[in-house]
Amino acid sequence: MKVKGIADLNLLKEEGLRRIYPDQRIKIAVGMATCGLATGAQEVYDEITTATENDRRNIVVSKTGCIGFCQREPIVDVLIPGMPRAIYQEMNPKKVQQIIPLILSHKHKEEYLLCKIEEEILIDEVFRLHQTNGYLAGIPFYQTIPFFAKQMKIVLRNCGFIDPDSVEEYIARGGYFSLHKVLTQLSQESVIHEVKTSGIRGRGGAGFPTGIKWEICRAVNQHPKYIICNADEGDPGAYMDRSVLEGDPHSVLGVIPIAGQQGLGLDVPLGHDMHLGGLAALSQGPLDIVGQRQAAPPGGPSACRPRGS
């Protein structure tokens, strides 16, 4: 589907919401980032798909990225209609065999649960509420777990909550609307001013302001210009770059056209002078963001297409 305007984005948003929150169907999502796969997430996913193959009208099985608590992987997210979102921890195929019959009966095996989620912040303080109805009263809320209690996720807000291969799910949580606004409403000067005002800066030792980088690059009258997606970890051992590229790749893909047209001052149609070949290094990773189905973002059919595709 080519996205030609805000109406198309809204259609994809509705489809994404149906995928994230399927009405009257149970949804099970398995964390399939590097940390999950290293502890057996593939075996857990395979066991879940096998155990539910005769109930696909009533259940959806999906993949997601890392929610952040790597030491508790493999993590399995279960959303049963009318109940709070439940997060299972340290799962394995034998545990899957125990919980699936319960889940299909709208029940949980509470001793395997890490926490429950009653509300989600989608974007700009918009909440998605899950009913509690007294269920799982003895299970702690996500925000009371010490590991999560002091966190306010911004860049990583979608990781562990959406299928990273689904552009619809990304759009459902606000993705690509900023790109549409930038391409249709804002000037290059206003975009750079917004980035400078935001205070966004690099995480390296210099902490250099991003808006100034864009301003300097835009002023240079030489072509071609290149954008490099630097996925090296600025904070050793934190693995945030890996997490966002595995769990929410469209948040990176969506900003590259903004940086290219507004930050570098490219006036050519998007996709003709900008390529994402630098992301090809991830094509052999656990979540192949280069080899996934191509979807046309709101800048044209090739605005976010890897070089050579």
- Domains of the chain in start order, with CATH, are 21-168 (3.40.30.10), 176-282 (no CATH)
Per-residue pLDDT at 187? 86
Per-residue pLDDT at 105? 93
Q: Which residue has the tokens 């109406």?
A: 7
pLDDT band with cut points at 50, 70 and 90 for residue 273: very low
Whether pLDDT at 267 is above 60? no
The one-letter amino acid code at 177 reads F
Average model confidence (pLDDT) across the chain: 80
Whether pLDDT at 77 is above 60? yes
What is the CB neighbour count within 10 angstroms for residue 93? 16
pLDDT band with cut points at 50, 70 and 90 for residue 96: very high
The DSSP bridge partners found for residue 86 are 78, 116
Q: What is the average pLDDT across 270-295?
A: 39
Q: What is the average pLDDT across 70-90?
A: 94
* Rg of the chain, C-alpha, whole Å: 20
pTM of this prediction? 0.81
Whether pLDDT at 57 is above 70? yes
Lowest mean pLDDT among 46-50, 111-115, 302-306: 302-306
Q: What is the average pLDDT across 197-212?
A: 83
Q: What is the average pLDDT across 75-85?
A: 93
The one-letter amino acid code at 247 reads G
% residues pLDDT > 90 (the chain):
41
Lowest mean pLDDT among 53-62, 85-94, 267-276: 267-276
Report the greatest alpha carbon distance in the chain.
65
